[in-house]
Amino acid sequence: DYWERLNKSLKEMKKKKFRTAIRITAIKGINMVEPENYAKLIKKADPDFVEVKSYMFVGESRKRLKEENMPSHSEVKEFTEKINEFLPEYEYCSEQKSSRVVLLAKKEFKKKGKWVAWIDFDKFFKLVSKKKKFESKDYLTQTKK
């Protein structure tokens, strides 16, 4: 049942016209394998962004996993690069080393060599108030460093 519901959710995500993202929690020794199959799942949803984040050894998860299951930032980045090899429409966008997170974005969010992936909230709320259909590209602004 889980697999069917996951696939249905991914197909529904693809229909959405607002910003979408998939987050993968990378767990060393458990799920940092088969990047081509992650790419297949990602393609089903066609999200704007793919975030790969390290598992963190905190909370209740400490009862099930070990500290060794927490990949380093470089391991997360390497795994993200492997996934990206199967996703030609995406490109490395940014990373946060202290959080062990790497972000891929669709290449369409890059304009003249700069990422335009942040939300212009003023523009967003103006569009919402008009009660007309709009897409994520309609309320973007340049990504700040």
Show the domain range for 79. Answer: 2-112
- Cβ-based neighbours of 73, under 8 Å, separated by 6 or more: 54, 95, 97, 100
pTM of the prediction? 0.88
**Which one, of 2, 5, 19, lies nearest residue 116 by Cα?**
19
CATH code for the domain of 61: 3.20.20.70
Number of structural domains the chain divides into: 1
139 lies in a domain? no
133 lies in a domain? no
96 lies in a domain? yes
128 lies in a domain? no
* H helices present in 70-135, as ranges: 73-84, 121-129
Burial 5-15 (b: 16+ CB within 10 A, else e): eeeeebeeeee
138 lies in a domain? no
Q: How confident is the chain (145 residues) per 10-residue block, as mean pLDDT? A: 94 89 98 98 97 97 96 98 98 95 95 89 92 84 76
Token readout for 94 is: 């940014």
- Cβ-based neighbours of 79, under 8 Å, separated by 6 or more: 26, 32, 35, 52, 71
Q: What is the pLDDT of residue 9?
A: 96
Q: What is the pLDDT of residue 117?
A: 85
Instruction: Decide if 102 contacts 74 (C-beta within 8 A).
Output: no
Q: What is the pLDDT of residue 131?
A: 83
DSSP 30: T
Q: What is the pLDDT of residue 145?
A: 60
